[in-house]
């Protein structure tokens, strides 16, 4: 989609080697400043899940969150450029996105920039959480939903999810969230995963299973829902 370029103003590292941040900042022509010294939008390179867990690391002026491992310099430069195309941007591994409850972090960041009522916050967090959960569980971890309503289905889901989350080949895949906030009161959010995609009609099986309600909840909350890139990307529009 055509979006205005909104480059970030500075690069900051948390739990990553200083020389990595220096190298990348020099390459991208960005200052490497402590967040308090900059008024604009700071992209932060996160070293690990632990640094991502601290709520202070999600407050302004941070506007983009990029988990470093295991990306090389080229891939990180691409990430910072992508961060510059959205108002808010997060690109985390599946394991970290799940651990930090990414939807809540993003909604908090949105609320720091646009006043939201409590109901709006709850609703947007739920819709975003459902989109991110789908990207995590069905997209990147490629775990199927719970069929039927038995505890056996829950057992199967539970075991598969735990096994895939413990496997770096799946848990290391990325979840990308981009937000555009328009002053007239519109929030556009995209959530993308690195799974094999899906055909939405295959999931449209009503409500006789324990899984399969996420998209319905999203559709009940967001004003517009689009599935893109063969189901690997979902775009939600909220009128605020």
Q: Give contact residues for another protein (rule: CB under 8 A).
A: 98, 101, 118-119, 122-123, 125-126, 129-130, 133, 137, 145-146, 149-151, 153-155, 157-158, 161-162, 209-214, 216-217, 220-221
Minimum distance between the CB of residue 181 and another protein, rounded to whole angstroms? Answer: 22
Residue 166 C-beta: closest distance to another protein, Å? 13
| Cβ nearer to another protein, comparing 216 with 237 | 216
Q: Which is nearer to another protein, 12 or 129 (CB)?
A: 129
Q: With respect to another protein, which residue has the nearer C-beta, 8 or 109?
A: 109
Nearest distance in Å: CB 221, another protein: 7
- Measured from the CB of residue 149, what is the shortest distance to another protein in angstroms? 4
97: phi then psi, degrees, rounded to nearest 5: -55, -40
Rg (CA), the chain: 18
Distance, in Å, from the CA atom of 163 to the CA atom of 127, rounded to the nearest integer, reads 26
Q: Rank residues 151 and 239 by Cβ distance to another protein and give the closer one.
A: 151
Kindly report the number of other CB atoms within 10 A of residue 180's CB atom. 18
Q: How far is the CB of 15 from another protein (least distance, A)?
A: 23
Distance set, CA 5 to CA 2, 8, 83 (Å): 9, 9, 10
Beta carbon of residue 122, minimum distance to another protein (angstroms, whole number): 4
The C-alpha atoms of residue 144 and residue 236 are separated, in whole angstroms, by 23
Pair 17, 37: CB distance under 8 Å: no
Which H/E stretch holds residue 91? Answer: strand 88-93
Q: What is the DSSP string of 164-210?
A: HHT-HHHHTSEEEEEEEEETTTEEEEEEE--S----GGGG--TTSSS
In angstroms, the CA 205 to CA 212 distance is: 7
Q: Which is nearer to another protein, 62 or 157 (CB)?
A: 157
Q: In terms of CB distance, is 58 or 89 closer to another protein?
A: 58
């Amino acid at each position: 989609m055509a979006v205005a370029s909104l480059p970030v103003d500075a690069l900051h590292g948390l739990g990553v080697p200083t020389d990595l941040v220096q190298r990348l900042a020099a390459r991208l022509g960005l200052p490497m400043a402590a967040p308090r010294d900059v008024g604009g939008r700071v992209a932060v390179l996160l070293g690990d899940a632990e640094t991502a867990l601290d709520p202070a690391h999600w407050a302004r002026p941070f506007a983009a969150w990029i988990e470093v491992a295991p990306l090389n310099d080229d891939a990180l430069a691409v990430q910072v450029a992508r961060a510059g195309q959205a108002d808010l941007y997060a690109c985390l591994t599946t394991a970290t996105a799940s651990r930090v409850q990414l939807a809540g972090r993003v909604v908090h960041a949105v609320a720091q920039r646009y006043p939201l009522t409590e109901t709006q916050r709850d609703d947007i967090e739920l819709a975003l959480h459902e989109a991110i959960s789908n990207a995590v569980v069905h997209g990147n971890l490629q775990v199927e939903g719970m069929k039927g309503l038995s505890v056996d289905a829950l057992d199967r889901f539970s075991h598969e999810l735990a096994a895939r989350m413990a496997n770096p080949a799946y848990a290391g895949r990325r979840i990308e969230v981009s937000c555009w906030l328009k002053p007239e009161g519109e929030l556009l959010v995209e959530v993308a995963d690195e799974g094999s995609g899906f055909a939405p009609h295959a999931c449209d099986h009503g409500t006789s299973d324990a899984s399969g309600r996420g998209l319905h909840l999203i559709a009940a909350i967001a004003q517009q829902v689009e599935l893109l890139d063969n189901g690997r990307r979902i775009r939600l529009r909220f009128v605020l």
